[in-house]
Structure 1
């Protein structure tokens, strides 16, 4: 597929990340799967690393499968990512986010199942 035939892999990933709502997070693996690249979480990392300046993609909402920020804690971007997430109401416990509580796809499934059971 050439650039003219449609969006690039990175653009597909960025579009998926744009769908992650405020106050929730997604893992690299979840974003990869939702973007059509199952089993390729590193591709998501590469795509986020290559975001253009001034982007509207909420990169800070993507974390690793352990519920942690993947950057080294000494990295200034780690601090920025943590502050952005906390500003959206996401709670850290021992530098970890509860994916069952704040996970985008997990919350969506819970809400879907609870709506089905209440009808």
Structure 2
């Protein structure tokens, strides 16, 4: 089965500067999508894309250890994202607050469901 990665990219574009989301946070808002699929979508991101891929980290706030890890960290620091001594993003200080009402309306998502999902991110 193939999935339209553009749906993932559109949601990632909702994450503003100074905030981060985990692969799982993005996946939780898209039916049938897993955190692994979000990672795969980002690995297929076209060159020159405006999608802020660097605002996506793992659930612990860690940056993937790839060749792009230095660029990942540099971009987050340039936006004012703080890191802990462990090298992970301070998720508590920079956690994404969820998608805009316009995204919710456009996708037909139930606003109450979205609010419950977002509330679960803080647990």
Q: Would the TM-score normalized by the shorter structure come out above 0.5? A: yes
TM-score with structure 2 setting the length: 0.73
Q: Is structure 2 residue 42 aligned with structure 1 residue 51?
A: no
Partner of 2:87: 95
**What stretches of structure 1 of length at least 5 have no aligned partner?**
3-7, 110-119
Match among 17, 22, 28 for residue 27 of structure 1: 22
CA RMSD of aligned residues (A): 2.4
| Alignment length (residue pairs) | 100
* Superposition deviation, residue 35 in structure 1: 2.7
* Superposition deviation, residue 53 in structure 1: 1.0
Separation in 2 of the partners of 1:14 and 1:37? 15
- Please give the secondary structure, in 1, of the residue aligned with 2:68: helix
Q: Is structure 2 residue 41 aligned with structure 1 residue 77?
A: no
- Determine which structure has the larger helix proportion and give its number: 1
Cα distance change, pair 95–16 in 1 and its aligned pair in 2 (3 A): same
- Please give the secondary structure, in 2, of the residue aligned with 1:21: coil
TM-score with structure 1 setting the length: 0.75
* Superposition deviation, residue 92 in structure 1: 0.8
1:94-119 per-position Cα deviation (integer Å, ceiling 9, x unaligned): 2111211101037x98xxxxxxxxxx
